[in-house]
Chain A
Amino acid sequence: MQIFHNPNYNFIRWRWHAIGLSAAIILAGAAMIATKGVPLGIDFSGGTLVRVQFDQPVSEDQVRKALDTIPGDKVVQQFGPVADRQIMIRLPQTGTAEQGISLEQGSRQIEDALSKAGLKFQILVRDIVGPVIGADLQKKGVYATLASILAITIYIAVRFRPSFAIGAIAATFHDILVTAAFLQFFKYELSLNIVAAILTITGYSVNDTIVIFDRVRENMRNKRREPLEQVVNTAVNQTLGRTIITAGTAFLSVLALYLFGGEALEGFSFTMLVGIISGTYSTIFIASAIAIILSKKPQTAAAAPASEPAARSARKQKGAKAS
């Protein structure tokens, strides 16, 4: 059984359309981020988050009313199905211990206010994140993502050629940006788990790209006469079955996580789902397109003959490495 029998689609022909579509999604996401900002979860913004299970059914409004006395922007939200009687309450960061405000203050205020309103409840989750930790995590999250991209770029540049590395990294950035745009569209707050998912996507996305590039390298040894577009397009087609099946199995297993994994992992699995789709798409359309565009540049330039020996020696080098 085979999904594709000797597929021979001309993916490279669609590269500009693909780049246009991606640019549209990314720009829309960026516009939303620019106007509304990235909604930060408690891990990064700091503050207090309490998840309460009530003994009797209560409405969000009831809880909101009970908490009226607490100043600041509160978020009160039903958590999970109504039958669970769980409400999530979030308070913003108020002050620091150095200013004489204890970290627990917010959570204590919530408990007092709910008790005073005559509600019976138990606390399931209490997250209190001080400003130091929040800022620390923000910084670390950005560093880890950038360092991961940089390290992978270097690896690909060493194993393949620099233009390929740029193609792979462009595809990875593409996936991160598209995922960020979708997180924005579906109003997910950035949490530790979501950053973990994004980092995983950088690894996954490059995986896909490497498989194609490996094939391109192999084909270049056999079909030296063909233009690069042709070689790349053949490689994309040859690996198409694998790309779709891998994406499919990864997608299915993460879908199981999204469906059965509980609310705590919902943001994580949503991010992964978007990342897997985007990763597959970018592998087929974006990575190779950019690799081609960048590889061609020296040849269209006036100094074409000068670049020819360089390219040949590069190929020789690759051949030597593989043997």
Chain B
Amino acid sequence: MTQNVLWKLGLIVAVIALSVGSFYFKGMNLGLDLKGGVHLVMRVQTDDALRVQTETTVEQLRDALTRGSIQFSKLEMKDAKTFVVEGVTNDQGFRAAAVDADTIYNRSSGVGSYTYSMKPNIENQLRGEAVDQALQTIERRVNELGVAEPIVARQGAVDQILVELPGVSEVQRAKDIIRSTAQLELKIVEQGPFGTEEAAKQAYNNNVPSDILILPGTGDSGGATPGTVFYALRRASVVTGRDLRNARPSLDENNLPAVGFSLNGDGARKFGAATEANIGRQLAIVLDGRVYSAPVIQSRISDEGRISGSFTQQEAQDLSLTLRSGALPASLTYLEERTVGPTLGADSVRAGVAASIGGLVFVVLFMIFYYKLTGLNAVISIIVNLLILLGLMAYLGFTMTLPGIAGFILTIGMGVDSNVLIFERIKEELSGTRGARAAINAGFDRVWWTIVDTHVSSLISALLLLQFGTGPVRGFAVTLIIGLLANVFTAVFVSRTVFELVLGQRKTQTLSI
């Protein structure tokens, strides 16, 4: 055995050892289709975030104009990213008051009236931030759900989020928790409750001022109006979910499940001041646009509060979870849901393993039958190929999916191709006058560029598959790519080394092929 062959052999053994080791110690990530669980794709309605920004700007501008006693006849939001001001007489004063709005919106002006539309870069920034925040919030919620190895990531289009929860059985509950906006707002009640929305509007002669908001709510238990009632609230919130320090399930005065919350320092200051100034009025606790309760403020409250409604224990628990994890900056809509039961996943693994072994056995038998001892050489390189594939998949943390198993089998089938190409060429060269060693060398050398060409073209389609694929199909593409790369190593390097090892320094020039 020459130094050269020894060195090559060492390298091959090291690669095998590394592969087996990483597979053994790191284990294989199984995809949802093999493990069971739920795969969700949702869209963040980023318009919501723009609307909040526009609403806030309009309110701030209104405040500034009122403080500066600047006349205007109309100030209202047109859509999520535009608002209009009309009837301004003091142009200079208005501009001074609207400095802040100018940083965010582009202004087009007529005589005494302005249309503000959001600057495109600000719009993109807000949309991006909304998705980022949603991503972080969902991550916190998923973590609190206690799911092992969840995935929360952006996907495809900028506003899509992918969530994968392996092994979750209460799919509906998980979905509800992820989706609930959990937008908590505490607002002072101006009038109400009214029995109908119309009645509430009539209280303002059907001309509800823009700083008043009418929201539905549940009638106070024992009150005169059970069912849905309507409140007229001050639009500006006293405190919101952002001011929360903590939320946890608790009990209300009737010993029914409720959610207690506490406010952070800033929130407590605001809350204390507002409650002190409004003793005797009602305070509405609004969650996601619905008034849950509207207790009368008895005294100054600083940092503790409670949301009661007719919650079950579970609901109270889920609500405190979502409140703790923070509000979503925008609502979510589900675009895709795929659920796989755990038993089915296990069945798929069994079927996949059976098919892999079946494919391997077919190919091994054929190669040995057709190429005799040289066929064994091909079998060695297929097996080394599969070991590298498993090892690299485990090491790089890629996920094995059901189509991934198909990629595995395809690697077996197509991996042989390079061996066949080389062996056929060796046979051809043997039929000439050369000896075995020369034939082997010629076979490998002649076929090398063919192997490069075939692998490059296969890699091209596998890489595009990776681009196109979602979830399971990506698993297929990844297996195929790693299989192809490993194959160049095994079919050429490993196989040639085995030939050199077997032929050694012998003078015999026959080959069992």
Please list the residues of chain A having a beta carbon within 8 angstroms of any beta carbon in chain B.
Answer: 1-2, 51, 97-98, 102-104, 122-130, 132-133, 136-137, 140-141, 143-145, 147-148, 151-152, 155-156, 159, 192-193, 195-196, 199-200, 202-204, 206-207, 210-211, 214-215, 218, 238-239, 241-242, 245-246, 248-257, 259-262, 264-265, 268-269, 272, 322
Contacts and interface: CB of A to CB of B under 8 A. Distances in A.
Given A137-B470, A214-B450, A249-B363, A148 B355 contact: no
A141 B362 contact: no
Interface string B458-479: 1111101101111011001100
B496 interface: no
Contacts of B338: 125-129
B344 A124 contact: yes
A249 B420 contact: yes
Nearest to A102: B334
Contact of A255 (B362, B416, B468): B362
B456 A155 contact: yes
Given A253-B413, A256-B409, A245 B370 contact: yes
A80 to B, nearest CB: 10
Contact of A238 (B428, B460, B473): B428
Contacts of A156: 457
Contact of A193 (B363, B427, B473): B473
28 contacts: A104-B172, A123-B341, A126-B171, A126-B337, A128-B334, A128-B338, A130-B336, A132-B43, A140-B468, A147-B467, A192-B473, A196-B476, A200-B480, A203-B458, A214-B450, A242-B420, A246-B414, A248-B366, A249-B362, A252-B366, A256-B359, A259-B358, A261-B355, A262-B347, A265-B352, A265-B402, A269-B406, A272-B406
Contacts of B359: 252-254, 256-257
Contacts of A132: 43, 335
Contact of B370 (A1, A122, A211): A1
Contacts of B412: 253
A136 B460 contact: no
B470 A192 contact: yes
A253 B409 contact: yes
Given A260-B354, A261-B406, A148 B341 contact: no
Contact of A199 (B343, B459, B465): B465
B348 interface: yes
B355 A152 contact: no
Interface in B315-345: 333-341, 343-344
B403 interface: yes
Given A192-B469, A196-B403, A257-B359, A242 B421 contact: yes
Contacts of A159: 453
Contact of A210 (B356, B405, B457): B457
Nearest to B462: A203
A254 B453 contact: no
Contacts of B348: 262, 264
B414 A103 contact: no
B460 A203 contact: yes
Contact of B341 (A125, A147, A254, A261): A125
Contacts of A124: 340-341, 343-344
B372 A1 contact: yes
Nearest to A206: B457
B409 A257 contact: yes
Given A1-B372, A257-B409, A103 B334 contact: yes
Contacts of B221: none
A133 B41 contact: yes
Contacts of B339: 123, 125-127
Contacts of A269: 406
A2 B427 CA distance: 9
Given A130-B334, A207-B417, 5 more contacts: A127-B337, A145-B464, A242-B421, A254-B359, A272-B410
B409 A254 contact: yes
B420 A245 contact: yes
Contact of B453 (A122, A126, A141, A214): A214
Most A Cβ at <10 Å: residue of B363, B460, B470: B460
Nearest to A137: B470
Nearest to B360: A253
Contacts of B458: 203-204, 206-207
Contacts of A268: 403, 406
B120 interface: no
A177 B403 CA distance: 22
A207 B452 CA distance: 10
A261 B413 contact: no
A210 B355 contact: no
A198 to B, nearest CB: 10
B38 to A, nearest CB: 8
B446 interface: yes
Contacts of A255: 362
A147 B450 CA distance: 23
B413 A254 contact: yes
Contacts of B354: 260-261
